A and B are shown apart, each in its own frame.
Chain A
Amino acid sequence: MNHFNRREFLKLAGLGGVGVVFSSALPGVARAAAADEFYFLQLSDTHWGFEGPPNPDAKGTLRKAVASVNQLGYQPDFIVFTGDLTHTTDNPVERRRRMTEFKQIVSDLKVKNVRYMPGEHDASLDNGKAFKEFFGPTNYTFDHKGVHFIVLDNVSDPRALIGDEQLAWLAADLKQQHTNAPIVVFTHRPLFDLMPQWDWATRDGAKAIELLMPYQNVTVFYGHIHQEHHQMTGHIAHHAAKGLMFPLPAPGSQPNRTPLPWDPAQPYKGLGFRGIDAEVKDAEYKLTEYPVVKKVPG
C-alpha cells in the first residue's frame, strides 16, 4: 500500500491520531506516493522479563503489540525499538535468556527492517555487552529516503553519560551533514533535564543538544519515561513514546516514579506504540498513537 493509500486507509478507518493531517487538493483522485514521504513505527520499553502487579499480562503484552503491528492495514518502512527491550537482571545468563525470547517474539513482525537500541535495563549492568551480542552496536547511523538517523547510546555507561568518545563520533558525523538536512535522533533517555529527581535525564545530554543546535531540522524520539511527552529545546522537538509493559506517572505528578496501577476495567491503558509519517521535504513528522490492542476482548 503506498503512502497516499495509507492515509486514505487511516481516514476511512477513523484511526487518525493527534497531529495527523489528511489533506488532498483533489479529493478522490489518486496520486503516486511522494518519493519524499515514508512511515515508520516506534516501539519502546517492552521490559521483557518483568513480572508484577502493574501488568498481569506481562508475558502477553509484547505478543499482542506485535500482532497489532502486523494487523495494520499498511506496513511501515521500518520499526525502531527505543530501548529497555528487556527488564534488568543481575544474572548474565538470565539477561541473555530474556534477549533470546524478546528476539524470538519480535521475529514475528512482518516488517523485517527493525532497528534496536538499548535502555539502561538492557545495558547498564554490563556496559552493553549482552546487547551487542544479540543486537549489534549500541550507537550507529543510517539513512532512509533522505533522512539521516542517528542512534545515540546514553545507557551503556550506568552514569547516564553519552561520553566524550561518542560525542566526538556524533560531532564528526554531523559535520558530514548540511545544516538543513533532516536529522532524526533516537535515544533512550531524554537528552534534556525532563525530571532529574526521577533520573529522567542524561548527565551530558546538553552537550549532544549543543552539537545538534546548528542543524535546523532535528527531531528526537526517545523512550524511558513510559508515556507520551513532547518538549522543545530551542527548535529541536523531543517526543517520548509510551511503553509496552507498564505506564509511569507524569513528571512530578506523584511523590515517586512508581508504575501506574493496572486498571482491570481498562487493561493496557497507557501502553501503546507510535506511527510516524515523515515528510522529508518539510522535515515534518506527524505522530499517530496506537493502543496495544484495538479492542480488548470480553
Chain B
Amino acid sequence: MSASMKAVRSALVAAMAMAGSAAIYTHVAAQPKEKVIKIVAKRFDYTPGNFTLKKGEPVILELTSADVLMGFNLPDFNLRADIIPGKVTRVRFVPDKTGTFTFLCDIFCGTGHEKMNGKLTVVG
C-alpha cells in the first residue's frame, strides 16, 4: 500500500474515532455463555470465510483487521460495523432466521474489494 493511501486511511480512522464509535459499533462485554466467533479481515478476504450459527443462539462476533480499515456488513440482518486496525470490534448478534447469507466488506479497499465476502449459515 502506498504512503498516501495509508495516510488517507489513517486520517479516516482518526476522524471516525473522534466522531465517537459508540454510534457506529456495538461493543459488548463478552458473556461466558455466549459463543464468540473471531473473524480476521485482510485485503481481500475474511478468515473464516464461512461459519455456521444456530437460530436464536446469541453470538459475539470479534472482528479485527490485519491491515486496513474494513467493513463487515451482513445486510440480511441489518448488521454492519467498521473494523479499525489495531482494535477489536465486538458485535452481539442473535440470528433470527435460517438460511445462508452473504457478508461483505462495504468499505472500498482496493482491487480485490468486490471479491471480499463470506457466507454465514444459520441452522434451526
A positions within 8 Å CB-CB of B: 87-92, 120, 124-127, 129, 155, 158-160, 193, 196-199, 203, 256-258
Q: Is B31 an interface residue (CB 8 A)?
A: no
Q: Which of B76, B108, B110 contacts A197, CB < 8 Å? A: B76
CB–CB A256/B115 < 8 A: yes
Q: Given that A158-B12, A158-B109, A203-B106 are contacting pairs, would A196 and B73 also be in contact in the complex, using a CB cutoff of 8 Å? A: yes
B positions within 8 Å CB-CB of A: 1-2, 4-5, 8, 12, 69, 71, 73, 75-76, 82, 102, 104-111, 113-115, 117
Shortest 3 CB-CB distances between A and B: which pairs?
A124-B108, A196-B75, A158-B108
Distance of A129 Cα from B105 Cα, bound (Å): 23
The interface residues of chain B lying within 8 Å CB-to-CB of A199 are: 73, 104-106, 113-114
Q: Given that A90-B1, A90-B2, A197-B75 are contacting pairs, would A159 and B115 also be in contact in the complex, using a CB cutoff of 8 Å? A: no
CB–CB A88/B111 < 8 A: yes
17 further A-B pairs in the complex, CB-CB below 8 A; given A90-B5, A125-B108, A199-B106: A88-B110, A90-B1, A90-B111, A91-B2, A120-B108, A155-B108, A158-B108, A193-B75, A196-B73, A196-B75, A198-B104, A199-B104, A199-B105, A199-B113, A203-B106, A256-B117, A258-B115
Distance of A125 Cα from B105 Cα, bound (Å): 15
Q: Given that A127-B8, A197-B76, A199-B114 are contacting pairs, would A159 and B2 also be in contact in the complex, using a CB cutoff of 8 Å? A: no
Q: Given that A158-B12, A196-B75, A197-B102 are contacting pairs, would A89 and B5 also be in contact in the complex, using a CB cutoff of 8 Å? A: no
CB–CB A125/B8 < 8 A: yes
A272: min CB distance to chain B, Å = 21
The interface residues of chain A lying within 8 Å CB-to-CB of B71 are: 159
The interface residues of chain B lying within 8 Å CB-to-CB of A88 are: 108, 110-111, 113
Distance of A126 Cα from B3 Cα, bound (Å): 11
Distance of A198 Cα from B1 Cα, bound (Å): 24
Closest to B78 in A: A196
Q: Given that A88-B110, A197-B102 are contacting pairs, would A126 and B76 also be in contact in the complex, using a CB cutoff of 8 Å? A: no
The interface residues of chain B lying within 8 Å CB-to-CB of A92 are: 2, 4-5
CB–CB B106/A125 < 8 A: no
Q: Which of B2, B73, B117 has the most CB of A within 10 A?
A: B2
The interface residues of chain A lying within 8 Å CB-to-CB of B4 are: 92, 126, 129
CB–CB A90/B114 < 8 A: no
